[in-house]
Amino acid sequence: MEYENKHVLAPMVRVGTLPFRLLAAQFGADITYGEEIIDHKIVKCERRINESLGTTDFVEKGTGAVVFRTCYEERHRVVFQMGTSNAVRALTAAQLVCKDVAAIDINMGCPKSFSISGGMGAALLAKPELIHDILTTLKRNLDTSVTCKIRLLKSSQDTVELARRIEKTGVSALAVHGRRVADRPRDPAKWSEIADVVAALSIPVIANGDVFEYEDFHRIKSATGASSVMVARGALWNASIFCSSCKLPWEDVKREYIRKSILWDNDIKRTKHTLKEMIMHYSSLELSEGKSVNKSDTLGDLAKLYGEEKYFQLVAKNRS
Q: State pLDDT tens for residues 18-31.
A: 999 999 999 999 99
> Which of the four pLDDT bands, split at 50, 70 and 90, describes residue 112?
confident
Residues of the chain with pLDDT > 90, as a percent, come to 95
Q: Binning pLDDT at 50, 70 and 90, where does residue 114 land? A: confident
Mean pLDDT confidence for 187-215? 98
| pLDDT reading at 115 higher than 90 | no
Q: What is this structure's pTM?
A: 0.96
* pLDDT of res. 110: 86
Neighbouring C-beta atoms of residue 149, cutoff 10 Å: 25
Q: How confident is the model at residue 7 (pLDDT cuts 50, 70, 90)?
A: very high
Q: Walk me through the domains of the chain, giving residue ranges and CATH numbers.
A: 7-242 (3.20.20.70), 250-319 (no CATH)
Q: Which of 45, 71, 98, 110 is catalytic?
A: 110
The whole-number average pLDDT for the span 35-47 is 97
Longest dimension (CA), the chain: 59
The 3-state secondary structure of the chain reads CCCCCCEEECCCCCCCCHHHHHHHHHCCCCEEECCCEEHHHHCCEEEEEECCCCEEEEEECCCCCEEEEECHHHCCCEEEEEECCCHHHHHHHHHHHHHHCCEEEEEECCCCHHHHCCCCHHHHHHCHHHHHHHHHHHHHHCCCEEEEEEEECCCHHHHHHHHHHHHCCCCCEEEEEEEECCCCCCCCCCHHHHHHHHHHCCCCEEEECCCCCHHHHHHHHHHHCCCEEEECHHHHHCHHHHCCCCCCCHHHHHHHHHHHHHHCCCCHHHHHHHHHHHHHHHCCCCCHHHHHHHHCCCHHHHHHHCCCHHHHHHHHHHHC
Give the Å distances, CA to CA, from 291 to 48, 274, 285, 295, 302.
36, 14, 6, 6, 12
- Judge contact between 9 and 231, C-beta under 8 A: yes
Active site residue 45: no
Q: Looking at residues 113-139, what average pLDDT do you find?
A: 94
Q: For the segment 224-256, what is each residue's pLDDT rounded down to a tens digit?
A: 999 999 999 999 999 999 998 888 999 999 999
